């Protein structure tokens, strides 16, 4: 019986972990410098990008029963954040 390797023992897995760490550090750094409305929408875009990357490059399965309602709620939430933000130009 062959022993199965974990995702982080491959080059692709380590590269994805590195990119996630860099994105997290940049996101935390930008908290002091950017508008929170933009950051909320940016965070939801990051979740959607993670779903796309994990299904495309890491081999995860897209399960419509769970993933589609989540994506719809993320889209509605992001839209509501932008529409209900109190911005004065």
Every domain of the chain and the residues it spans: 34-89
- Predicted local confidence at residue 2, as pLDDT: 58
CA 57 to chain centre: 14
- Predicted local confidence at residue 59, as pLDDT: 85
- Predicted local confidence at residue 1, as pLDDT: 55
pLDDT per residue as tens digits for the range 58-81: 888 999 999 999 999 999 998 898
- Predicted local confidence at residue 14, as pLDDT: 86
Instruction: Tell me which residues of the chain have a pLDDT lower than 50.
Output: none
CA 61 – CA 54 distance, rounded (Å) = 8
Long-range CB contacts (< 8 A, 24+ apart) of 52-60? 53/16, 57/12, 57/16, 58/7, 58/12, 58/13, 58/16
- Predicted local confidence at residue 70, as pLDDT: 92
């Amino acid at each position: 019986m062959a022993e199965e390797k974990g995702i982080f023992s491959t080059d692709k897995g380590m590269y994805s972990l590195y990119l996630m760490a860099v994105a997290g550090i940049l996101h935390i750094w930008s908290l002091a410098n950017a508008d929170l409305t933009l950051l909320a929408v940016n965070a939801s875009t990051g979740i959607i990008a993670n779903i796309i990357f994990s299904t495309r490059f890491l081999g995860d399965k897209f399960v419509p029963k769970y993933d589609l309602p989540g994506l719809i709620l993320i889209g509605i939430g992001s839209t509501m954040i932008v529409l209900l933000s109190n911005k004065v130009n």
